[in-house]
């Protein structure tokens, strides 16, 4: 595990992170001088279960390679300066339970592939530039009778989503 949050480090995460094949947890949060692009090399870490990169200075797009992480259960990139669309490949990270993408500049629609993440418990997409309709596949994760797993689905109010049966909040 690597925990380097709440510090005065600056710069970017080195691409050599890809050499840490047994890395299970990486946390760098509330470090406003660490930024640049999120290395796609994170997608080459097959044992990674926890990736927390919130409240830093990350820019660019969310790497498609994060979809390669079959063991990833927690992904939080809230409160950065990320942009572009949410990669549909993220729907392949089937162990995800918590997904935090809020307070960024993501745009476009929410990929229907996200509905393949049947273990999702919490999804934070608020305060982004996402628009369009919430995919029915995501709503289905909230409407599974007694097997409801998805407890939080917080979206921008510009996303069309029923707050009674699908999304839990909007802002």
Q: Is residue 168 within 8 Å of 152, Cβ to Cβ? A: yes
The phi-psi region of residue 36 (left if phi > 0; otherwise alpha if psi is between -120 and 50; otherwise beta) is: left
The band of 32, judged by pLDDT with boundaries at 50, 70 and 90, is: confident
List beta partners, residue 124: 100, 154
Query: Per-residue pLDDT averaged across 21-33, rounded?
Result: 93
**What is the average pLDDT across 39-57?**
97
d(CA 68, CA 89): 8
Q: Are 38 and 65 in contact (CB under 8 A)?
A: no
Regarding pTM above 0.85, the answer is yes
Q: What is the pLDDT of residues 70-109, one digit of tens each?
A: 999 999 999 999 999 999 999 999 999 999 999 999 999 9
CB 118 within 8 A of CB 148: no
So what's the pLDDT on residue 78? 98
Look at residue 145 and tell me whether its pLDDT is greater than 70. Answer: no
Q: What's the rounded Cα separation, in Å, for the pair 157 and 169?
A: 8
Contact 129, 150 (CB under 8 A): no
pLDDT given at position 77: 98
117 pLDDT band (50/70/90 cuts)? Answer: very high
């Amino acid at each position: 595990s690597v925990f380097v949050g709440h510090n005065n480090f600056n710069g970017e995460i080195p691409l050599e992170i890809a050499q840490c094949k047994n890395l299970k947890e990486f946390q760098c949060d509330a470090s406003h001088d660490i930024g640049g692009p999120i290395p796609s090399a994170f997608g080459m870490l097959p044992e990674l279960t926890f990736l927390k990169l919130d409240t830093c200075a990350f820019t660019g797009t969310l790497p498609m390679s994060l979809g390669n992480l079959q063991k990833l259960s927690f992904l939080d990139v809230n409160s950065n300066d990320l942009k572009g669309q949410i990669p549909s490949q993220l729907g392949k990270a089937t162990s995800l339970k918590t997904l935090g993408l809020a307070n960024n500049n993501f745009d476009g629609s929410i990929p229907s592939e996200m509905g393949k993440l049947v273990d999702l418990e919490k999804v934070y997409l608020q305060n982004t530039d996402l628009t369009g309709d919430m995919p029915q596949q995501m709503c289905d994760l909230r409407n599974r009778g007694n097997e409801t797993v998805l407890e939080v689905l917080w979206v921008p109010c510009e996303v069309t989503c029923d707050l009674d049966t699908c999304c839990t909040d909007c802002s």
